[in-house]
Amino acid sequence: MYQQFFVLFAIMFSGYLLRKFVIIDFNMNRGLNRFIVYFSFPCLILEKIGMLPMDKPTMNLFYIVFGIGFALFAVYAGIAFLYVKARHFPKEKSGIIEFAMTAANTGFMGFPITLLFFGEKGLLLILALNSVLYIYTFTYGLYLLRRNNDKLKEKNMKNNMVGLFKLLLNPSIIALVLGLMISNNHFEIPVVIQSYLQLIGDVATPMVMIFIGSSLYGCNLLDMIKDRVIAESVIMKLLVMPVITALLVMFLPLSVLAKTMCVFSCAFPTAAMVPILTEQEGKNVEFASMILLLSTVLSMVTIPVIVEFARIVFG
């Protein structure tokens, strides 16, 4: 397992070096982001889920994990709210902190890494949890960013409708729905189309790690660690939340894989959508970005630890 993580993080470091030597510049990095999110990921999801033998137990498990996801996010939101309040973090940053502590990068990092370690069934289950994350992001996540802004509260209905529309048109969601329709109805994807989707989807994993490494170039890790609020938020996100998740799902009548995916999906760093939406809402995007960057760097250590923790706990 650790050899695979070493390879992934070696690719990430390659992205850092490529940015340092200006082989990848800002515009190229942005284009890489869009290529992955709007093209490579959807191809990967459609090919993997569309080819998955979807028997009734597998389908039922997908919907069970999807439902459990809502309960887990409700718990995460409650814990984040109480923690931020107890620690008396600055009011103007409280919504960003709660959002960053609860929204994990299950899409951008989660899809390829889950596929690498847990295969197609693991990918299916993390997609169920990621679908809940999308709903959470464009509802409660937006609420958190607008909680202390009366002007934005007045526009909540319109903005939430826009967020819902974006959610429904998200390429990964569309690919997931199409993939489920194909596999559930036992349609066969033509070999040529399957090969096309596979070739495009297979580049997602290295491209994601290169993008993350490139994005980390220029960040001052020491300054971020010294910031008490950022450091505590990241520790809660990467270590405390996954442990709490393991305790919550430990005694549920679920398969080991399903329990592991619930914990694993929570172990990823802060979602890239947090600073994106923070900027959109006119909040402190630099602060949100620092949480994202520090959590991404430290996840190189914490993700293998959480995987091993889940293996020991669930057997």
Phi-psi region of 186 (alpha: psi -120 to 50; beta: other; left: phi over 0): left
Tens of pLDDT, residue by residue over 175-206, are 888 988 998 888 889 999 999 999 998 898 88
* Cβ count near 78 (within 10 Å): 11
Q: The domain 2-314: what is its CATH number?
A: 1.20.1530
User: Which amino acid is located at 199 in the chain?
Assistant: L
Provide long-range contacts, Cβ within 8 A and 24+ apart, for 226-233: 227/290, 229/89, 229/90, 229/93, 229/97, 230/287, 230/290, 230/291, 230/294, 231/294, 232/87, 233/97, 233/100, 233/101, 233/291
pLDDT for 275 equals: 83
pLDDT tens per residue across span 1-16: 566 677 877 888 899 8
**pLDDT-based confidence at 146, cuts 50/70/90?**
confident
d(CA 260, CA 266): 10
Tokens of 227: 């910031």
Full-model pTM: 0.80
